[in-house]
Amino acid sequence: MTEATLDQMRETLAAALPHHAAFDGWGDAALTLAATETQIDPAVARLAFPGGAMDMIDAWFAVVDAAMLTRLPAERLAAMKIRERITALVEARIDVVIPDLEALRRAVAILAQPQNLVRAAKLGWRAADVMWRAAGDTATDYNHYTKRGLLAGVYGSTVTVLLADDSEGHADTRAFLRRRIDNVMQFEKAKARLSHSAPDRLSLARFLGRLRYPVA
């Protein structure tokens, strides 16, 4: 049998980690339990996450991204309008994390710590980028940045509502999401009208096009 690479072990551990992080936090105890569950040497498991909790959370969010895309394959998304695609993608992401809400709550608390804010922003941007790309967005001008920034805000605020939501089937969270998506779409329509009537906005597009948002 071919020995698993560190990346493969990281992905395997990341899928198991939230079940233990819910009780033991995003630390060594949860990692040891996840390693035992997946039959990986705990010492090797620690090598997979040299950055500790933030690396574990990062890897889990990547697993969430993959699970979201599995639930919504390209051919299914293609049959939807853009608003429906974005809503469905965020809802799929929510459905993936619902079984691990306590782990998510603990992860959000870690992400909110001052020393982690920059990386938390990168993770939010990455999630939004994955969703927009899955939705078929190919924008390369300033729209690329505004769309991802807005969606990162929508997803972040939706998670905040989710963590306090005790409604049946998390109906309050889903209703909140739809209202926020409506707001975003209204903004996009207004922005499109403005861009047609203000050619000088092209200078903003050129400026943003030179930026390189630090995603990792």
Ordered by where they begin, the domains of the chain are 73-210 (1.10.357)
**Averaged pLDDT of the chain:** 88
Closest to 130 in 3D by CA, of 143, 147, 116: 147
Containing 68, the helix (H) or strand (E) segment is: helix 53-71
Q: Which residue has the tokens 């998670």?
A: 159
Dist CA 72 CA 213 (whole Å): 27
Q: What is residue 200's predicted lDDT score, i.e. its pLDDT?
A: 47
Give the residue, 156 or 194, on which the prediction is more confident: 156
Look at residue 144 and tell me whether its pLDDT is greater than 60. Answer: yes
Helix axes 202-210, 142-163, angle to 10 degrees: 70
Dist CA 196 CA 17 (whole Å): 49
For residue 2, give the amino acid letter.
T
Whether the CB-CB separation of 45 and 3 falls below 8 Å is answered with: no
Dist CA 57 CA 63 (whole Å): 10
Q: What is residue 191's predicted lDDT score, i.e. its pLDDT?
A: 63
Look at residue 138 and tell me whether its pLDDT is greater than 50. Answer: yes
The average pLDDT across 124-139 equals: 94
Dist CA 128 CA 148 (whole Å): 5
The average pLDDT across 131-160 equals: 92
Q: How far is CA 212 from the centre of its chain?
A: 19
Q: What is residue 101's predicted lDDT score, i.e. its pLDDT?
A: 97
Q: What is residue 186's predicted lDDT score, i.e. its pLDDT?
A: 77
pLDDT band at 15 (very low <50, low <70, confident <90, very high): very high
- 85-109 pLDDT, tens digit per residue, is 999 999 999 999 999 999 999 999 9
